[in-house]
Amino acid sequence: MKKKSFLIGVILLHIIFLSIAVQAQAADTNYSLGIKKDTEIILEVKTFDKKGLKDVFGDGYKHAIPEGADEVGLIYKIVVREIIEDAEIDLGILGDYDAFGFEADIWEWTKGDFGDNPTDEEFEIVWFQDPEDLNDAYDVVGGYAYDIIMPFVPIDVVKFLDEIDEWKENDHEEWKSKDNTVIHDSIFDEETFVENFIYDTENGFLVGYKIFDEDGDLIFEYGLSQLIPGYEIPLILGVTCILTIGLIYIMKKRNNFILK
């Protein structure tokens, strides 16, 4: 009974240690990076209404959608290779902002199987750690920060989006958020349209994009096809330690039984 109690105590100690380690990682901000190393995401074009796109954007409609995403069934893959420690966003003379970031291999839009080699290797992707910094950047550069599509959002996603209090609004366009979606009402050559950017609430990735025409008809969409979550090193080490201790305990119990 004493050995069993000791084992349970060790396991609880490891769980507490892991909890402290995870909390310490996010101690400098109210938000954290939900994206883990080796996370794999596959996106897929689900709607491509060529006529609808041309009605809104004219013959240059391909410039209004992600490059190469001009056919239903096309797929796009992102694999996170490394998490960037102490990432920053450099706005030149305006200063540096703390950021979350990672390096990823990217396979551009294709039909069928992905090739062995990515289109881009170790591509760096960073974004603001805190919405207050994004608000500050908006004040300084007059909205330019919101014209750049956020590639991911720190978690808590809904809270992060909700605390962006300076969404751009003028006579021609409006940005706002609802839950895990950023909504952009805009106009192109007198044709109005709406864009939706959808962020995964678990990891913060931009996993969905939609365009609606002025009648509310969906004319373009890509969305999540597959997501394989990554892992955290402290968690893997903790689980390994617990399993090892458990295995040693079982083996010792078995040896004692045999000796008796």
Does 150 share its domain with 214? yes
Does 127 share its domain with 217? yes
- Over 60: is that where the pLDDT of 82 sits? yes
Closest to 128 in 3D by CA, of 150, 157, 105, 99: 99
Does 5 share its domain with 76? no
Provide the Cα torsion 135, 137, 153, 155; round to 10°: -50
Higher-confidence residue of 167 and 171: namely 167
Does 93 share its domain with 38? yes
Q: H or E stretch including 15? A: helix 2-25
Per-residue pLDDT band for 20 (boundaries 50, 70, 90) equals very low
Does 126 share its domain with 205? yes
- Over 50: is that where the pLDDT of 19 sits? no
Residue 78: C-alpha distances to residues 203, 206, 232 (Å): 13, 11, 18
Q: What is the pLDDT of residues 194-226, one digit of tens each?
A: 999 999 999 999 999 999 999 999 999 999 999
Q: How many Cβ atoms are within 10 Å of 119's Cβ, its own excluded?
A: 16
Q: What residue type is 106 in one-letter code?
A: I
Q: H or E stretch including 206? A: strand 206-213
pLDDT score of 168: 63
Tokens read off for 5: 């109690």
pLDDT score of 71: 97
Does 44 share its domain with 144? yes
Contact in structure between 54 and 224 (CB atoms under 8 Å): no
d(CA 63, CA 59): 9
Burial class (CB in 10 A: 0-12, 13-18, 19+), 165: exposed
d(CA 75, CA 69): 8
Percent of the chain at pLDDT > 90 equals: 55
- Residue 91: alpha-carbon gap to chain centroid: 22
pLDDT score of 236: 45
Residue 14, Ramachandran bin (φ over 0: left; ψ between -120 and 50: alpha; else beta): alpha
- Over 60: is that where the pLDDT of 3 sits? no
Does 94 share its domain with 106? yes
Per-residue pLDDT band for 190 (boundaries 50, 70, 90) equals confident
- Over 80: is that where the pLDDT of 38 sits? yes
Q: What is the pLDDT of residues 97-149, one digit of tens each?
A: 899 999 999 999 999 899 999 999 999 999 999 888 887 777 776 655 555 67
pLDDT score of 150: 85
d(CA 201, CA 194): 22
Number of domains in the chain: 2
Lowest-pLDDT choice from 37-51, 84-98, 180-194, 227-241: 227-241
Does 5 share its domain with 109? no
Q: What is the mean pLDDT of residues 2-25?
A: 42
Does 42 share its domain with 166? yes
Which residue's entry shows tokens 């050559």?
189
Percent composition of the chain: helix, strand, coil (DSSP 3-state, to 5): 35, 35, 30
- Over 70: is that where the pLDDT of 254 sits? no
Within 15-151, strands assigned E span: 40-48, 75-90, 96-110, 120-128
Does 251 share its domain with 137? no
CB-based contacts of 22, cutoff 8 Å, min separation 6: 232, 234
Does 94 share its domain with 209? yes
Residues spanned by the domain of 93: 31-229
Contact in structure between 241 and 14 (CB atoms under 8 Å): yes
Does 117 share its domain with 71? yes
pLDDT score of 166: 62
